[in-house]
Amino acid sequence: MKYYYSVTKDREKELKIKRSTFIAHLHYVQTMQEAKEYISRIAKEHKTANHNCWAYIVGENGETFHSSDAGEPSGTAGQPMMNALKKHDMTNIVAIVTRYFGGVKLGIRGLIEAYGKTVEAAIEIASLKKQIKLSSYQISCGYDLAEQLKYKIEQLNGEVNNVDYTANVTIKISIEEHLKDDLEKYLIELEKAGKLKIIK
C-alpha cells in the first residue's frame, strides 16, 4: 500500500531570492472548499503582495488537485509547487506561496526553482504525518493471557495504545485499517473460546 502524508499544524517559511521575498504557507485540509477558504484567507492577509500562488491536493489517495500561477507566467509557480507536494506523496494539503517582488526579474527557470524551493523548505521544517485510517479495539482479558496477547497483537501489525490493570486487564489497540483482518479474526476466535471480551 502506498502511504500519503500531510502536516499536523500550519507551517510558514520565508526565503529571500534575488531581492524578492517568498513566503510558503502549508495548511492541512480535508476538502476542496477548505483549501479555497484558506487560499482566500492568506490572499487577504497578504493583499499588498505581488502574487499569492497556490496548489492543493485532497482525497484519500490524492485524487483531487489543482494549482494556480496567480499572475506569474504560466507554469512557473503553481505546477512547481504541486510537484514539491507530490514528490513527498502529500494529500489533504494546501500550499500558498506569497511573493513580494524585489525589483529583480528571475526569468522562467528562476521562478520555477524559487516557487518549488520555497514549498520544499516549508515541507522540510519537520517530519510529515502519515495519513492512514485506523481501526480501534478495546478488549478485556485475564492477567494470565495479557502478555501473550500484547506480543501477538504486535506480531499482527497492531499497536497497544494503553493497558489498564484492574480486576481484569483492559487493552486498547489500534491498527491500520487495511491490515486489520488477521487481528480481528484472532480476537474473535479468542472471544468465542471465552478467553477475552471485545468491549468495542
Do strands 134-141 and 11-17 pair parallel, antiparallel, or not at all (unpaired)? unpaired
Rounded to an integer, what is the distance from CA 4 to the centroid of its chain? 7
Residue 199 or 24, more confident: 24
Where do we find the cell 489500534? 174
Q: Where in the chain is the domain with CATH 3.30.230.30?
A: 4-130
- Enumerate the CATH 3.30.70.240 domain ranges in the chain, comma separated: 133-198
Whether CATH 3.40.50.1820 fits 4-130: no
Of 67, 79, 61, the closest CA to residue 6 belongs to: 61
Pairwise CA distance, residues 163 & 170, whole Å: 6
Give the model confidence (pLDDT) of 107-162 as tens digits.
999 999 999 999 999 999 999 998 888 899 999 999 999 999 999 999 998 999 99
Quickly name the fold that domain 133-198 has.
Alpha-Beta Plaits (3.30.70)
Q: All 3 cell numbers of residue 98?
A: 506569497
Beta-bridge partners for 173: 137, 160
pLDDT of residue 178: 85
Amino acid (one-letter) located at 5:
Y
Full-model pTM: 0.76
